[in-house]
Amino acid sequence: MQLVNADLHIHSKYSISTSKYMTFDTLSQEAPKKGIHLVGTGDCLHHKWLQDIKTLEKVDEGTFELNNTRFIPTVEIQGEKRVHHLIIFPSLSAVEQFREQIKSKSKNLDTDGRPHVPMTGEELAELAFDVDALIGPCHAFTPWTGMYGHFESLQECYGQYSKKISFLELGLSADSSYADRISELHDLTFLSNSDAHSPYPLRLGREFNQFKVEDMTFKEIKKAILRNGGRKCILNVGLPPEEGKYNQSGCSRCFKRFSYSASLEADWKCSCGGRIKKGVSDRVSELGANYTPKKPEHRPDYLHIIPLAVIISKAINCVGTNTKSVQKIWTTLVSKFHNEIEVLIDTEIEKITEVMDPRISWAIECFRNNKIILHPGGGGRYGQIELPKFE
């Protein structure tokens, strides 16, 4: 068995509001810098991206490779009520069969990597299972496009196929401790994926899964999601939920935060005229109100990480993460210690101090010891981090 870090939900350059550098060449070079071994292709139903996938080295029917980075076909699809679903395909022939089934129903199939299809979750699940694909809700608690933003249960969303749903994607504003407050989710495997729109490690792999598998292939990842034959997800990794854009209830116009009671009192309308969007923390409290939280035996730990560039920028009091100063430090650390995850989690602080300004090693140590101060996000604005006073 081997341990594989996998980010199964990204987008290509063919999706709206994504970087033009979201290409396989760039992704295959940037993923190792983060510490990611396997990436979901995203957008595999888009005809041009599908052709790009076909140029990769074929490992097997559902697995491809470039520059030692593995890829498996995935797509985020928008169905009824704008709810987003993640589909993981076993082969390109399965992708093409599924594409043919929705071709007449989608107006943007060839103009956006995330196709919009006026179909229910039940209808999409039927098509996915017909081609032996896996399907589950993307960022399930997000108020705009998450399943629980519009439905009360898996059964309400996926109908007769709800018992066949094997995974749920947590999204940036939730972690396992949130989702395990909902009893119907206990049998599911939780996925933590980046939903990256940029190929660089600030976004790519900001959330990922660590699987215990025999090989980096679709077949093995499927077994791990289904928890068959000793294969399984052994770790979810991602942002602290408070950093997510929708963690707290907040106004989508001025971003003022509201408690649940204050939101109810205001009838979910802000004094600025904007709409208060129900935060993930409040939505989870609603769904799990009558249930005592319990962590299932199969549930792996959830490791909270903060992107290294963000920690560096705070340590040197630099505005933004793309400045020359931040990028120089980031490149030095990643070059010296192999990848970003190694720097954040495993490299001895003393070794970092040997090659870095002590403020950098101190900031990383603060991260490891949970001393970073979090200011929660909400209403569509990311949360912010703050370092304690440098000692």
3-state helix, strand, coil in the chain (%, to 5): 35, 20, 45
Instruction: Give, for all 391 residues of the chain, the pLDDT tens digit.
Output: 999 999 999 999 999 999 999 999 999 999 999 999 999 999 999 999 999 999 999 999 999 999 999 999 999 999 999 999 999 999 999 999 999 999 999 999 999 999 999 999 999 999 999 999 999 999 999 999 999 999 999 999 999 999 999 999 999 999 999 999 999 999 999 999 999 999 999 999 999 999 999 999 999 999 999 999 999 999 999 999 999 999 999 999 999 999 999 999 999 999 999 999 999 999 999 998 777 778 999 999 999 999 999 999 999 998 889 899 999 999 999 999 999 999 999 999 999 999 998 999 999 999 999 999 999 999 999 999 999 988 6
- Cβ contact 126:161 at 8 Å: yes
- Cβ contact 113:104 at 8 Å: no
- Cβ contact 124:117 at 8 Å: yes
* 77/84 Cα distance (integer angstroms): 6
* 242/375 Cα distance (integer angstroms): 7
Task: Look at the pTM and tell me if it is higher than 0.85.
Answer: yes
- Cβ contact 197:43 at 8 Å: no
Backbone phi and psi for residue 251, each to the nearest 5 degrees, phi listed first: -75, 130
Domain ranges of the chain: 2-242, 307-371
- Cβ contact 309:321 at 8 Å: yes
Q: What b/e string do you get for 63-99 counting C-beta neighbours within 10 Å, with b at 16 or more? A: bbbbeebbbbbbbbbbbbeebbbbbbbbbbebbbebb
Give the residue among 257, 297, 293, 299 at the shortest CA–CA distance from 278.
257
Q: Which two tokens stand for residue 157?
A: 């969303």
Of 3.20.20.140, 3.90.740.10, 3.50.50.60, 3.30.70.1400, which CATH number belongs to 2-242? 3.20.20.140
Return the biggest CA–CA distance within the chain.
Answer: 62
Q: What local confidence, expressed as pLDDT, does residue 390 receive?
A: 80
Angle at 328 between CA 324 and CA 332, to 5 degrees: 175
Give the residue among 323, 319, 343, 320 at the shortest CA–CA distance from 333.
343
Q: What b/e string do you get for 260-284 counting C-beta neighbours within 10 Å, with b at 16 or more? A: beebeeeeeebeeebebbbbbbbbb
Q: What local confidence, expressed as pLDDT, does residue 272 receive?
A: 96
Angle at 108 between CA 104 and CA 113, to 5 degrees: 120
- Cβ contact 85:79 at 8 Å: yes
Q: What local confidence, expressed as pLDDT, does residue 291 receive?
A: 76
